[in-house]
Amino acid sequence: MATTSYLVTVSGPDRVGCGAELWAALAQVTAAGGTLADVGQITIRGSLVLCADIVVPDHVTVEDVRRALQQRDLERDGLTAEVVRVNPEPQGAGGRLLVTLLAPQVAPAQLQRIFDGIASVGATCERIIHLAKYPVDAYELAVRGCDSDALRAVVAAAAQDVGVDIAVQRAGLHRRAKHLVVMDADSTLLQDEVIDLLAQACQCADEVADITARAMAGELDFAASLRERVALLEGLPESVLDDVRASLRLTPGARTLVRTLLRLGYVPAVVSGGFEEVLAPLLEELGVSLLRANRLEVVEGRLTGRVLGEIVDRAGKARALEAFAAEVGVPLAQTVAVGDGANDIDMISVAGLGIAFNAKPVVREHADTALSVPYLDAVLYFLGISREEIDDEALAPAESA
């Protein structure tokens, strides 16, 4: 049977019942073998745009559709309805890609550059969702009609030019499947560097800070530099670990990120070049059960200046992510790694989505995307989770045991 496609667009001041009237009219015109192919709606400040794509037998005309709409008295109180014949969507048009962009405030000029990039590779934007208005402005664009690598290249360049953070991912249900989200601790989950706080306690802060900076910039082997820094802590009383833990500051948004992940069934984890003795109690409080970190040797209540076992370095972080993914039954494509330093590069590279968080340039070069805002819960927007969902989770009562 030959068919025709019509796009019906209802626009104007939103009012109660207009959706029901539209569906009743379209039910009438599709009753003899037609189908509803697609629907889209947006309402901004009480102004409605509601679109329906229908496929009907060739004998159904534009006038037939308009007559059905008139019978339902849809066009009143300022609403208008437009019916146009459209070409059917071509077969093999390609899957959707999702472009997530955020900044302290997204301006029209920034969107122009992103959309110029989308158009330059022959793609179109089919849908825009405003994920968040605070503490950052975040949008998700559904884009169709191009190769993901080509799209990623042009929008990443545009984003860098106009100062927005951006990620390009494949659309699909996998984004709502269980994810493993692995975070670095120092300068990612935490605002602090634990080794620097310990160094302050033993009055060797300048020496340790210098070694830390060189290691995180990729100038020194992490394992060797860690041993060198820990050696400077020899003789510190074990009680200093409790003092340092009490002084730790979580990154803004860290609690919200972990709480939301847990409530949505995702699995948060921490893989750190820091120290288990300091991190484990804090993570237990947050509800994070997966931790891989270094261990300090303590003898007779004092640090010996040595590290126990295999050091969690750059390669060790990647191995830990893979081991955690296997443990919780999540494929690597559904893992997210977030870090800021050179020793996070392997972990970021092996994850399905690698995020450089306020990171050094060498880390950004290896990441799928980068966050330059100071809020760790912005990671959630790259998972398609809106601010409204985050706030709803925050207000929801705790689940019973």
Pairing of strands 96-103, 35-44: unpaired
Question: Which residues have a Cβ under 8 Å from the Cβ of 382 and sit 6 or more positions away?
Answer: 100, 167, 169, 336, 353, 355, 369
Domain carrying residue 32 = 3-86
The string of pLDDT tens digits covering residues 43-88 is: 999 999 999 999 999 999 999 999 999 999 999 999 999 999 998 7
The string of pLDDT tens digits covering residues 4-29 is: 999 999 999 999 999 999 999 999 99
Task: Give the CATH number of the domain where residue 159 resides.
Answer: 3.30.70.260
> Pick from 351, 356, 276: which is nearest to 311 by CA?
276
The string of pLDDT tens digits covering residues 158-208 is: 999 999 999 999 887 677 787 999 999 999 999 998 998 999 988 898 998
The string of pLDDT tens digits covering residues 217-272 is: 767 888 889 999 999 999 999 999 999 999 999 999 999 999 999 999 999 999 99
Q: How confident is the model at residue 394 (pLDDT cuts 50, 70, 90)?
A: low
111 in the same domain as 74: no
307 in the same domain as 190: yes
- Number of folded domains that form the chain: 3
Q: Which positions are annotated as active-site residues?
A: 184, 186
192: its two tokens:
């602090």
**Residue whose pair of structure tokens reads 């009055």 in the numeric block:** 203
Supply the pTM of this predicted model.
0.85
374 strand-pairing partners? none
The mean of the pLDDT values for the chain is: 92
Distance CA 225, CA 208 (A): 9
386 in the same domain as 240: yes
> Pick from 343, 291, 342: which is nearest to 314 by CA?
343
320 in the same domain as 296: yes
- Tell how far CA 319 is from the center of its chain: 23
Q: How confident is the model at residue 210 (pLDDT cuts 50, 70, 90)?
A: confident
SS percent in the chain: helix, strand, coil, step 5: 40, 30, 30
152 in the same domain as 231: no
Q: How confident is the model at residue 360 (pLDDT cuts 50, 70, 90)?
A: confident
255 in the same domain as 164: no
Predicted local distance difference test score (pLDDT) of residue 222: 84
114 in the same domain as 80: no
Would you say residue 191 lies in a domain?
yes
The domain boundary, picked from 21, 54, 86, lies at 86
143 in the same domain as 237: no
303 in the same domain as 238: yes
pLDDT at 211 over 70: yes
Query: Which DSSP symbol is given to 307?
Result: E
> Pick from 244, 117, 230, 147: which is nearest to 190 by CA?
244
Least confident piece of the model among 47-61, 279-293, 381-395: 381-395
Would you say residue 400 lies in a domain?
no
Distance CA 313, CA 123 (A): 41
96: its two tokens:
């959707």
Distance CA 187, CA 185 (A): 6
